[in-house]
A and B are shown apart, each in its own frame.
Chain A
Amino acid sequence: MISIRSVVKTFGRLRALDAVSVDFSPGKSYALIGPNGSGKTTLIKSVLGMVIPTSGDIVVDNEPVKNHWHYREKIGYMPQIGRYPDNMRIGQLFDMMRNIRKNPPLPDEELLEAFRLREIFDKRMHTLSGGTRQKVSAALAFLFTPPVLFLDEPTAGLDPVSVEILKDKIQKTKEEGRLLIITSHIMSDLDDLATEVVYLQEGRIRYNNSIEELKDITGENKLGKAMARMIRGLEQEKQEKPPPLSPLKGGSGGVRIKN
């Protein structure tokens, strides 16, 4: 569905993405994990065409991302920080999103109802709290039933009830066989929602395999613990073999874990 081939993105001297190659296949749910500033958001924005890679190729459903835009019909995107025109009302925002598309599919208004956004349709965007904005972002991402969903820290800033609503929705989407790419720092959330792990560090993919496999090698049964162990393993390897460390190819699962 989405194939990313040796994508490099530099911001001045910083290499935000350093020869990233990864495939996202339909029907799977990926947890995109990495420390702050490891390039997770840059990777997502590159697929969306908001950030233009310095080199490399990204293809979504056989359509190259470069200079194309039709493929974005298939993507729902929930940004980390949703920024919206200040003076627009929530209702107008949803109307606009529908109007801007040529043939909008029947909208999926489940989240709109669950978050009771309709009751505050006449509120302006700049009066909203961070959490409410987050709800708007989530409802927008799911609105057109896209086959691909990018969720950048979906649960950050949401109240406990809303977190559960959103997680249920994500779970349902996953069961429908749609492709999900989720970034989060809350490992317990990802444990339920994701089936695969992609670990990014300093713009490189350091691990890419299923969560099952990761738990197996590390002998942990919680994603959080397994990740911690895997990262420690990576760091030890780094100390033994001085850098540069060759990036692991997608799906090889060739990380040595020290027990």
Chain B
Amino acid sequence: MAMTRVIKYVFYDILRTRFILLYTLFLLVSTIAMFQLDTDTGKVILSLMNIVLMVVPLVSIVFSTIHFFNSYEFIELLLAQPVNRKVIFLGEYFAVAFSLCFAFAAGVGLPMFFYGGGTSGITLLYSGTMLTLVFVSLAFLSSVLTRDKAKAIGIALLFWFYFSLIYDGLLMWIIYTFMDYPLEKVTLALVSLNPVDLARILMLLQLDISALMGYTGAFYKEFFGSSMGLVFSSLVLLVWIIIPVWGALRIFIRKDL
């Protein structure tokens, strides 16, 4: 199939840049260091969670955007060949997504396997993988929105800033401003609008320390219980993966190259 061949060549190209290798090493070293510093698995997972919530989205979105623009020649070359545009685009997506997920799974998963991370460790791996996929999707969206590499990286960073920092600030502001009203359902809807928050909730519900997250976490726990929350946030995260990449595909199919 043409798709597997495209994936093979993109994958080959990604391996050549060695960035993925460095990323894997970074995750590997940090995870091992965390396990060495603390013997309490819960605390280790909690520290790792902060890396997963900040670093993984940032690396995923910036690397994917840069990679997309660096593959412009490759895409152009294939476009003159009897290859479907959809296949080229999705081939790029799957290859990049797979490389980053593999790097994450190897970097965090391997030490976890040796030191033993338990259920919370698996949840961490799961939500990190989901977040990687979400931010690769967002990166592909920002890549097709403009022809300019610098602008695309700008849009990508904006996505990251928004979901990692700005959104939480807005959420806090809303909660404090409308403290006197029943906000449970509104908060739930608002949290679903941010994949990073969803991943955080996913992990905190597993770690059983949702109180640390304050109001939203406690409420979430109360409303869903663990398994319901897991299903709900997984579904919403899936939507967060599919919608941006679908939109990007629609734009790419109509794009002049």
Contacts and interface: CB of A to CB of B under 8 A. Distances in A.
Contact of A49 (B16, B73, B79): B79
A97 B81 contact: yes
Interface in A50-79: 50-52, 67, 69-73, 75, 77, 79
Interface in B99-126: none
A240 interface: no
A241 interface: no
A48 interface: yes
Interface in A63-106: 67, 69-73, 75, 77, 79, 83-88, 96-97, 99-102
Given A52-B255, A84-B73, A79 B80 contact: yes
Interface in B147-200: none
Given A87-B16, A100-B5, A50 B81 contact: no
Contacts of A45: 256
Nearest to B9: A96
B13 to A, nearest CB: 7
B77 interface: yes
Given A69-B85, A100-B5, A50 B80 contact: yes
B16 A50 contact: no
B76 A86 contact: no
Contacts, number: 59
B74 to A, nearest CB: 5
A127 to B, nearest CB: 15
Contacts of B83: 69, 72, 100
B80 A100 contact: no
B6 interface: yes
Nearest to A86: B73
A70 B9 CA distance: 21
Contacts of A52: 254-256
A88 B16 CA distance: 10
A245 B195 CA distance: 57
B2 interface: yes
B257 interface: yes
B255 A100 contact: no
A52 B84 CA distance: 14
A73 B80 contact: no
Contact of B2 (A67, A73, A75, A102): A102
Contacts of B146: none
A86 B70 CA distance: 9
Of residues B6, B78, B80, B254, which shows the largest number of chain A Cβ atoms within 10 Å of its Cβ? B80
Contacts of A85: 13, 71, 73-74, 77
26 contacts: A49-B85, A50-B80, A50-B256, A50-B257, A51-B256, A51-B257, A52-B255, A52-B256, A69-B82, A69-B83, A69-B84, A69-B85, A72-B80, A72-B81, A73-B82, A79-B80, A83-B72, A83-B73, A83-B77, A85-B13, A85-B71, A86-B73, A96-B9, A99-B5, A100-B81, A101-B82
Interface of B: 2, 5-6, 9, 13, 16, 71-74, 76-85, 253-257
